[in-house]
Amino acid sequence: MSNQFILILKNSDEGKFNGFKRKNFNKQTKEILKKNSSNHVLGLHKGVISNKVWNKIKKDDKFYITIENETFRVTANLIKKAKNLKYGEIIYPETIDRKQVNYFLFFKKLDDCREPFEVLKKRSKSNIFSNEGIFEIKQRTNSERIKKTKINKALIEKTRGKVERKHRSIQALDRNQSNVVQLKKLYNNKCQIQQCNFELNYEKGGKIKQFSHVHHYNQLAKSRMDSLNNMIVLCPNHHAEFDFKVKLIDYDGVTIINEKGKETGETIKFHKGHKLDIKNIESLLGEQDG
């Protein structure tokens, strides 16, 4: 699977960035580009990239590229990376410190992007986030990849339901009970935390019943979204932990982290007919960060 990276240039490198975007290169650079089957090349000081991050970068990885504090303007998939002492002088002949620019990324095609700086910054894996360099992004592809169901159309049709107030005076929320029932059925009353073994069977009316909770991930009263893309099935223990926000779902939609951002070693699994809205996940992580 390809990784994603944030690439930020200093404001003073705006000219460099625009040249990169417009394929505004000299003849020698164009030859280098041709040799590397690409159309765009961007060079960076090695001082602004950690070795750990540089070593992780590989072909086809996705880059979000912009100038510091601006909305991300382009994305591109990497064709090639190169550490080359000569390229700096060829590609940036007029730059004073051209000899120190020796980490290069080659791209074939740029795509427009309008991702706000602050949003991507929050998704950066690094705690030390400066406004220049390359930073790894936490994956969110798992939750994005889960496709809408073919299995239970009725279930999906209800995902847009909003909570209505029953009595304004007491502000009671009318939960959509059938969503709860259907979701429990979808997961056979099993906790969605993959490593959880909790099971409680009981007898009612001569039938064996199982016990589970449905948790509104992004607090019901706040979001007022009583829809399936804000609900998960949990055992009572995990329900309590999620209620008190000592456990949260990370940006990838799968990994469970504690309130300090540390991974707990647990993961949450989703039925292919069900997913949480990434906005609900991000909203809680946002609260945690800020």
Residues at the contact surface with Zn ion, assessed by CB under 5 A: 191, 193, 196, 198, 235, 238
Cβ contacts of 79 within 8 Å, gap of 6 or more:
36, 37, 38, 59, 106, 107, 108
Residue 20 vs 217, nearer CB to Zn ion: 217
Report in angstroms how near the CB of residue 112 gets to Zn ion at its nearest: 43
CA 193, CA 233: separation in Å to the nearest integer? 9
Q: State the minimum distance, in angstroms, from the CB of residue 233 to Zn ion.
A: 9
Which lies closer to Zn ion via its Cβ, residue 123 or residue 238? 238
For residue 180, the minimal CB distance to Zn ion (Å) is 17
- What 3-state class would DSSP assign to 57? coil
Compute the least distance from the CB of residue 39 to Zn ion, in Å.
51
DSSP H/E element including 133: strand 133-136
Closer CB to Zn ion, 191 or 281, in the complex = 191
Q: Which is nearer to Zn ion, 65 or 193 (CB)?
A: 193
Residues in Cβ contact with 2 at an 8 Å cutoff, skipping those fewer than 6 apart: 58, 60, 61, 62, 77
The total number of residues written for the chain in this structure: 290
Q: Which residue, 141 or 195, has its beta carbon nearer to Zn ion?
A: 195
Tell me the DSSP string of 206-250.
TEEEE--EEEESS-HHHH---SGGGEEEE-HHHHHHHHTTSEEE-
User: Residue 61 or residue 266: which is nearer to Zn ion going by CB?
Assistant: 266
Q: How far is the CB of 265 from Zn ion (least distance, A)?
A: 13
DSSP state of 166: S
Closer to Zn ion at the Cβ: 193 or 232? 193
Q: From the CB of residue 246, how many other CB atoms can be counted at a distance below 10 Å? A: 12
Query: Least Å distance between CB 195 and Zn ion?
Result: 8
Q: Taking the complex as a whole, how short is the minimal distance between the CB of residue 85 and Zn ion, in angstroms?
A: 55
Q: What are the CA-CA distances from residue 203 to residues 62, 197, 200, 208 (Å)? A: 53, 20, 10, 5
Q: In angstroms, how far is CA 232 from the centroid of its own chain?
A: 19
Tokens (6 digits) for 184: 């429990």
When the beta carbons of 96 and 202 are compared against Zn ion, the nearer one is 202
* H or E segment and range at residue 258: strand 255-258
The least CB distance from residue 36 to Zn ion, in Å, is 50
Question: Of 289, 282, 276, 285, which is closest to residue 142 (Cα–Cα)?
Answer: 276
